[in-house]
Structure 1
Amino acid sequence: MHHRSEDDGERDCSPQYGTHYAIIVQIYQRYPGDHHIWKKRHERAMAIENRRSMTVEEYFQLEANDPETRYEYIDGHVYAMAGGTANHDTIKSNIQRTLWNLLRGSNCRVYSSDMKVYISETRYFHPDVTVTCDPRDRGRVQAIQSPRLIVEVLSPTTELTDRTWKLKNYCAHPTIEEYVLVDSQSLKIESYHKEQNRWIYEAFENTDDFTLHSFDV
């Protein structure tokens, strides 16, 4: 049995920092000992972000031509994703491995942030961890169309966006049943899971038992 926070309960996925929210974009791809490579990549990413607009097809081609960089596509504009810390990457890998073990033998597949997720006709994100149980999402697909679970590992540069703007987008997705936020500093876990037409919020400390409602594990 898990321990629920006193803040647990029904929520409508409204931003927790008020109604005014924005996309926070920070590019930081530093290559130690090679300032020129970092500068060139930084300038290239900034030039791409400053373009007026880009079609979905152009966005797919951009990622195909630049596999070392992940971009998110938002309403015709692309944003280079910031590189994570070693701690962030370790937590993300541990979550992915744990989910893979839990779901082994099922029809579900676990994907890392290398795989982009279809949010809407004009939006594609790269969540830290994604689980889909739809067989149409297997094979040589360009993006996951029917995710069931999304996990984001919070960091100082992404926390506001993950808690507000992305929360709204994930809750509006027709196939997403659960959205989990993992604090990389305190290891606190928060989840939003869908029950009929309601979204239920729960918070867990690092000593609590955690339940994934979308898989009943």
Structure 2
Amino acid sequence: MLARKLPLSLEAYLEEEAQSPVRREYLRGRLYAMAGSSALHNRVALNIAARLLEAARAKGCRVYMSDMKLRIRDEAVYYPDVMVVCAPGPPHPYYEESPCLVVEVLSPATAAQDRREKRALYETLDSLEVYLLVDPEARRFTAYRRAPEGFLEEEGKEVYLPCLDLTLGAEEAFRL
């Protein structure tokens, strides 16, 4: 077997990923296998997606959970826990590129990456209005909201999501 040439092109990654039994994220030519999520992580992500779905449908937006990729130019491809896309037109069959909302549910294994690497790349997306970090242990939200001066950080037990004109509360997100 021949060794894989690194860095891998985005096109080669997308072709491989379509056939791969293991989900892998892509960052600047390197692949990173994804860890499985806990039951708590999964329930919180599902609660949030369920809450967003009706509002998204009414506005003609799409809601995705962790199996849909988010492509950030040719630099990165991630699998956000929840993503809302209100951009017009048919989506690519394997990824989206213009979310207005990205949600990551924090876990001990991924929290640092979600707070630094992913945040830095997500905030480069022109379409992004809110990057929402959800801490299931503390039962709190940290929202990075687009403002004229850049992204501003807000913390609390509820968060307003402008692209859906919806306020998400902790009781809804953390209901078990």
Distance 1:185 1:158 in 2: 14
For the 8 Å contact 1:137–1:145, the answer to whether it is kept is: no
| Aligned residue number for residue 24 of structure 2 | 71
| Aligned residue number for residue 128 of structure 2 | 176
What is the TM-score with the length of structure 1 in the denominator? 0.70
Flag structure 2 segments of 5+ consecutive residues without an equivalent: 167-176
One of 7, 11, 14 as aligned partner of 1:60: 14
Distance 1:186 1:216 in 2: 25
| Aligned residue number for residue 174 of structure 2 | none
For the 8 Å contact 1:116–1:143, the answer to whether it is kept is: yes
Q: 2:15 aligns to what SS in structure 1?
A: helix
Query: Cα RMSD (Å) of the superposition?
Result: 1.8
One of 134, 142, 150 as aligned partner of 1:190: 142
Distance 1:204 1:214 in 2: 19
Distance 1:176 1:168 in 2: 12
Q: Give percent identity, aligned residues only.
A: 35
| Aligned residue number for residue 115 of structure 1 | 68
What is the TM-score with the length of structure 2 in the denominator? 0.85
| Aligned residue number for residue 216 of structure 1 | 165
Distance 1:152 1:125 in 2: 11
Aligned-pair CA distance for 1:212: 1.4
Aligned-pair CA distance for 1:137: 4.7
Distance 1:165 1:210 in 2: 22
| Aligned residue number for residue 128 of structure 1 | 81
Aligned-pair CA distance for 1:52: 2.6
Flag structure 1 segments of 5+ consecutive residues without an equivalent: 1-47
Q: 1:62 aligns to what SS in structure 2?
A: helix
Larger strand share, 1 or 2? 2
Aligned-pair CA distance for 1:128: 0.6
Say which one has the larger Rg. Answer: 1
Runs of 4+ in 1 over 6 A off after TM superposition: none
The higher-RCO structure (CA 8 Å, 6+ apart) is 1
Amino acid at match of 2:133: L
| Aligned residue number for residue 170 of structure 2 | none
